[in-house]
Amino acid sequence: MIKIIREQVEAELQAFVGTDVYIHSEATSFVFVRNFKVKVTHALIAGEGPFRAALRFDGHGWLRMEALTYYEVDGNGRLLLAGYDDRGRMNVALHLGKEPFPE
């Protein structure tokens, strides 16, 4: 993974707008969602680092993740965003793909 470059991640997020997307999301050990399928109508990233990402679904629901620091696009075209603390531990993750994630 590489440090988030806001303009690059914004472009990657925009590629999912108007499409059905599978989401994997987690925040420490308290929240875990996998293969939640929605149609993304808006995608935003904000901040100067750590960053916030927000996705609007079907025009009437939002998911917002904070404290994102790194990203990559894998070989399957999935956008992987993650936030790590100052000790290298992952605190949050937001992954978007056009196909379901492996169970």
Q: Report the C-alpha gap between 69 and 52 in whole angstroms.
A: 9
Please answer whether residues 77 and 97 qualify as being in contact, where contact means their C-beta atoms are separated by less than 8 angstroms: yes
22 found inside a domain:
yes
pLDDT at 29 over 90: no
Expressed as residue numbers, the domain containing 37 is 2-97
24 found inside a domain:
yes
Q: For residue 50, is the peptide bond before it cis, meaning its omega torsion is within 30 degrees of 0? A: yes
The number of distinct structural domains making up the chain is 1
Instruction: Give whole-number Cα distances, 46 to 13, 14, 53, 74, 95, in Å.
Output: 12, 13, 6, 22, 17
Confidence at residue 43, expressed as pLDDT on a 0 to 100 scale? 96
103 found inside a domain:
no
Using DSSP's 3-state secondary structure scheme, residue 29 falls into coil
Confidence at residue 67, expressed as pLDDT on a 0 to 100 scale? 94
pLDDT in tens, 37-87: 999 999 999 999 899 999 999 878 999 999 999 999 999 999 999 999 889
